[in-house]
Amino acid sequence: MYVKKGDIAGNWQEGELVPYGNLEISPSAGVLNYGQGVFEGLKAYRTADDSILMFRPEENALRMVHGAERMSMPAPDVDTFINAVKQTVLANKRWVPPTGKGSLYIRPLLIGTGPILGLAPAPEYTFLVYVSPVGTYFKGGLSPIDLKVETYFHRAAPGGTGGVKTISNYAPVLKTQYTAKGKGYSDVVYLDAKENKYVEEVSSCNIFVVKDKVISTPELAGTILPGITRNSIIQLARSRGYEVNERPVSVDELLAADEVFCTGTAVVVNPVGSVTHGTKRVLYNHGVVGGVSQELYEALTSIQMGVSKDEFDWVVE
């Protein structure tokens, strides 16, 4: 893994590659006591000719800069971030699975490691990058998932930190996701905290609905993570002639959709087979993968794996 340390004024030491292992950390570190930390997730793919491609790392770097600012932390600049990611991937090249067998998941993390007892930003920071090979999300190809609408708990409040990738955003979803999984659902759909009426996102992915071939996804109003896959799918779908709207999407529209899918680094494009809201369960497309999800999944993954032309300049070697 790659480790780089800095102070609150943004003075960074030289970063270095070290073997993956535990960190030594103060019990009063900002991250342990006040959740001062942001992270990213991206993937590297091995192509048929053995090159390693990363997908839009600059977007992850910029999202970390933005998130760090919201959490009162200095962040590594875009070049430092991309360099650190490249170094880590290169040092772990042998762990990138063969084409079609998965990818190397890359986890950049920025945490307040300096001691701070009173509530304040930590005096020191650690930026690190570690990686892990991951398989394809769905074993036998695309497979629709079952979601449950959560009407009591919310993941993000207006004016809070829902729009940045801070570690504390995942605390509110642990219990709801775990409980839903225990009942046989794959994940949870969160609604807005103000009216409990509009769809926001799933625990770790964004959501899209398709009605009469028109694609809609909840607008970014500060309580939804601006997913890089979400942005890519919007651009890809528009380039293929679809109308795509970013706007409030009500739970009623979700239930009345022809097709629903989720997007994220881990799941790429993830078709939704059913949504349960209270006692009502809606099955989409008779529970099989919808045509729009299938088309966009194939279009995106073929760019990510270097199979089709990257007209958007998204992949980086």
Which of 11-19, 116-124, 204-212, 295-303 is the region at the interface with ligand PMP (rule: CB under 6 A)?
204-212
For residues 176 and 158, give the distance between their C-alpha atoms in angstroms, rounded to a whole number: 20
**121 contacts ligand PMP (rule: CB under 6 A):** no
**222 contacts ligand PMP (rule: CB under 6 A):** no
Q: Closest CB to ligand PMP among 113 and 206?
A: 206
For residues 122 and 90, give the distance between their C-alpha atoms in angstroms, rounded to a whole number: 31
Q: By CB under 6 A, what part of segment 183-202 binds ligand PMP?
A: 201
Q: Closest CB to ligand PMP among 225 and 255?
A: 225
**161 contacts ligand PMP (rule: CB under 6 A):** no
Question: C-beta of 52: minimal distance to ligand PMP in Å?
Answer: 19
Beta strands 42-46 and 124-134 are unpaired
User: Which residues contact residue 227 at a Cβ distance below 8 angstroms, ignoring those fewer than 6 apart?
Assistant: 201, 205, 206, 263, 264, 265
For residues 291 and 96, give the distance between their C-alpha atoms in angstroms, rounded to a whole number: 30
Residue carrying structure tokens 């991309």: 82
Q: By CB under 6 A, what part of segment 229-248 binds ligand PMP?
A: 229-230
Q: Closest CB to ligand PMP among 6 and 176?
A: 176
Q: Which helix (H) or strand (E) holds 311?
A: none
Q: How many residues bind ligand PMP (CB under 6 A)?
A: 13
Would you state the torsion angle of the CA atoms of residues 259, 138, 87, 92, taken in this order, to the nearest 10 degrees?
Answer: 180
Among 6, 37, 108, 227, binds ligand PMP (CB under 6 A): 227
Task: Give the chain's length.
Answer: 317
Q: Closest CB to ligand PMP among 36 and 161?
A: 161
Q: By CB under 6 A, what part of segment 69-108 binds ligand PMP?
A: none
Distances (CA, A) of 16 to 147, 255, 292: 42, 50, 44
Question: C-beta of 296: minimal distance to ligand PMP in Å?
Answer: 13
29: helix, strand or coil: strand
**228 contacts ligand PMP (rule: CB under 6 A):** yes
For residues 298 and 305, give the distance between their C-alpha atoms in angstroms, rounded to a whole number: 10
Residue nearest to ligand PMP (CB): 227
Handedness of CA 92, 93, 95, 101 (dihedral sign): positive
**264 contacts ligand PMP (rule: CB under 6 A):** yes
Q: By CB under 6 A, what part of segment 20-39 binds ligand PMP?
A: none
Amino acid in the structure at residue 153? F
Among 205, 210, 254, 275, binds ligand PMP (CB under 6 A): 205
Q: Which residues are catalytic?
A: 165
- Contact residues: ligand PMP, CB under 6 A: 41, 201, 204-206, 225, 227-230, 263-265
